[in-house]
Structure formats: structure tokens, C-alpha cells
């Protein structure tokens, strides 16, 4: 059974989400050619801990860092290193924060300097697909309604959505029920669920320029996920609480968070 979060719990998740969002803004301000992903990691961790919060990713199932930093064809789980960003790269940064026992989880793909029109369009389509997915998240809707909104928009624009990795429920644990896929497929529709006010989910489309198929490489004991054809990928994510007044974006940096 899916857990329903109380107003008090949602308020704590909002605080965790705000710290997450502000950490992403800090990272965004530091991104430029020549910067290492390890530097982004170190600055993110300093900020999170300064907010009396804990980096939720660090040590999670053995993950060695507090952010995921995935460059170009890397989809998710990129591990920060001494690798320097180059002009024209794109970098997906995924951040999780634990505050007072509750998790905030958000991701965004950033341009490094001036990027190609093709790369910028990939970012735009992925971000818009997230907005449409959030818009579909309402009491009485199904998880498949969110997936369909994302998949339809992405494929209409000539891109593909990753199928091997999904969004998820969120609360006191990083990954709770339900899974929130970004595509509609017979392989999971038997587990499709009706959502209610108080459900909290992380919606996170991962959008590829080429095939939706993926591959992994092992780094520091962890599987980093890449596109099968080495074409570039973008990733945007928000943690969202469902309410009768519309979806509440928990991972917004603003104090007054309006419904989408």
C-alpha cells in the first residue's frame, strides 16, 4: 500500500526539497568550462551540511558521493571526479537531501557554456516533459497518466524516454512505492496505481537523442548508466506532493510554492 503523507510530513519534505533546490542553484552558478565535477560535489556537500541537512545519496547502497554528475551520453549515476567540464557539454546533476528524516530529490541538466542547438533543444524537451508529467499528477489519476503525458510529448519531438530507470515514491526513504515510469508499457501496467491526495512522488524523465536503450559501466563499485548508442541524454526531476488543489512541487527554491 502507498503511504499517504500528513500535512506535517509534507511540510518537512518541502523544507528538504527547498534545500535540494538551492543546492542545485549553487551548483548551476559554479558550472563553467574547466570546472571539475569533484569541485561541484565538494561545494554541494558544504552547502547541504551548512543547512543542518545530510546528503542523502552519499553512502546510499554504497554510492560514494553526494551528487550524481552525468555528462553528455551518461544518463544517471555519474560519479564526480577530476574530469573537467568542456565548452558545449551538458551535465545532469541529481541531488538528494535528508532533513529531519525526510528526503528531497531533484535533478536538472545544465549547459556548459554555449551548447549546440540540438543539445539545447534536448534540454528544453526534457524539461517541458517534466512539467507535463507534473501537470498530470492529481488525485484520481493513475501513474500511467503521468507516464503517457511524458512519453507522448517526448516522442512527438523525435526523442526517446529511458525505460530501464524510473521515478518513484518518496518520503522517509529515497525510493518508496510506486515506481513512476516515463513510458506506458504492458510490462508494468498490471501494477498501475490510482494516486490520492497526500501521495508524494519523484517524477524524473530521462530523455535520449537516440535509442531509449541503455548500458552500464562500473566505476568505484557503482553502475554508471549511459545511452546504448552514445548519443546524449538529459534528466530533469522534481519531488511532488499530490493535493486537491493541484500538484505541489516540493523541490522548488521559492518559499511560496504555487501549484503548476
pTM for the complete prediction?
Answer: 0.95
Residue 257 clears pLDDT 70, i.e. is over it: no
More confident of the two residues 145 and 191? 145
> If pLDDT is split at 50, 70 and 90, which confidence band does 258 have?
very low
Q: Is residue 255 part of a domain?
A: no
DSSP 146: H
State which residues form the domain around 178: 7-249
The β-bridge relationship of strands 67-71 and 90-99 is antiparallel
* DSSP H or E run through 129: helix 117-135
Q: Is residue 238 part of a domain?
A: yes
> Which CATH number do you get for residue 198?
3.90.230.10
- 135 pLDDT band (50/70/90 cuts)? very high
DSSP string, 170-236: -SSSSSEEEEE-SS--TTTGGG--B--TT-EEEE--EEESS-S-EEEEEETTEEEEEETT---EEE-
Q: Considering only residues 189 and 8, tell me which one the structure prediction assigns the higher pLDDT.
A: 8
Position 36 scores a pLDDT of: 98
Q: Does residue 210 sit within a domain?
A: yes
Residue 256 lies in a domain: no
What pLDDT was estimated at residue 43?
Answer: 98
Residue 259 has pLDDT above 60, yes or no: no
| Cα 231 from chain centroid (whole Å) | 19
Determine, yes or no, domain membership for 36: yes
Ranking 86-90, 111-115, 153-157, 254-258 by mean pLDDT, the lowest is 254-258
Residue 196: inside a domain, yes or no? Answer: yes
Q: What one-character DSSP code corresponds to residue 35?
A: -
Residue 221: predicted pLDDT:
79
121 vs 115: CA distance, rounded Å:
10
Residue 254 lies in a domain: no
pLDDT digits (tens, 9 = 90+) for 15-29: 999 999 999 999 999
User: Cell numbers of 132, please?
Assistant: 507535463
The rounded distance, in Å, linking the Cα atoms of 28 and 22 is: 10
Span 188-202, mean pLDDT?
92
With respect to residue 258, please indicate whether it lies within any of the assigned structural domains.
Answer: no
pLDDT in tens, 152-181: 999 999 999 999 999 999 999 999 999 999
Instruction: State the sign of the Cα–Cα–Cα–Cα dihedral 53, 56, 57, 61.
Output: positive
Q: What total of structural domains would you count in the chain?
A: 1
Region 190-201 average pLDDT: 93
Q: How far is CA 231 from CA 69, 77, 78, 207, 215, in A?
A: 17, 17, 16, 11, 12
**Cα 22 from Cα 18, distance rounded (Å):** 6
Amino acid at each position: 500500500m502507498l503511504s499517504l503523507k500528513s500535512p506535517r510530513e509534507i511540510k518537512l519534505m518541502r523544507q528538504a526539497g527547498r534545500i535540494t533546490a538551492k543546492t542545485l542553484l549553487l551548483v548551476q552558478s559554479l558550472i563553467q568550462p574547466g570546472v571539475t565535477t569533484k569541485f561541484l560535489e565538494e561545494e554541494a556537500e558544504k552547502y547541504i551540511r551548512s543547512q543542518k541537512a545530510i546528503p542523502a545519496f552519499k553512502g546510499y547502497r554504497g554510492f560514494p558521493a553526494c551528487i550524481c554528475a552525468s555528462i553528455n551520453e551518461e544518463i544517471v549515476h555519474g560519479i564526480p571526479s577530476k574530469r573537467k567540464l568542456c565548452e558545449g557539454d551538458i551535465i545532469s546533476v541529481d541531488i538528494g537531501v535528508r532533513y529531519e528524516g525526510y528526503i528531497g530529490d531533484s535533478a536538472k541538466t545544465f549547459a556548459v557554456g554555449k551548447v549546440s542547438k540540438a543539445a539545447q533543444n534536448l534540454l528544453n524537451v526534457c524539461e517541458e516533459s517534466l512539467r507535463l508529467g507534473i501537470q498530470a499528477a492529481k488525485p484520481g489519476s493513475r501513474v500511467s497518466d503521468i507516464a503517457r503525458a511524458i512519453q507522448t510529448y517526448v516522442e512527438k519531438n523525435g526523442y526517446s524516454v529511458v525505460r530501464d530507470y524510473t521515478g518513484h515514491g518518496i518520503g522517509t526513504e529515497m525510493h518508496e512505492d510506486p515506481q513512476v515510469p516515463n513510458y506506458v508499457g504492458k510490462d508494468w501496467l498490471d501494477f498501475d496505481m490510482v494516486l490520492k491526495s497526500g501521495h508524494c512522488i519523484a517524477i524524473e524523465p530521462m530523455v535520449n537523442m537516440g535509442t531509449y536503450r541503455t548500458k552500464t559501466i562500473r566505476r568505484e563499485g557503482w553502475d554508471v548508466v549511459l545511452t546504448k548508442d552514445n548519443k546524449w541524454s538529459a534528466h530533469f526531476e522534481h519531488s511532488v506532493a499530490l493535493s486537491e488543489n493541484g500538484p505541489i512541487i516540493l523541490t522548488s527554491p521559492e518559499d511560496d510554492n504555487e501549484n503548476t
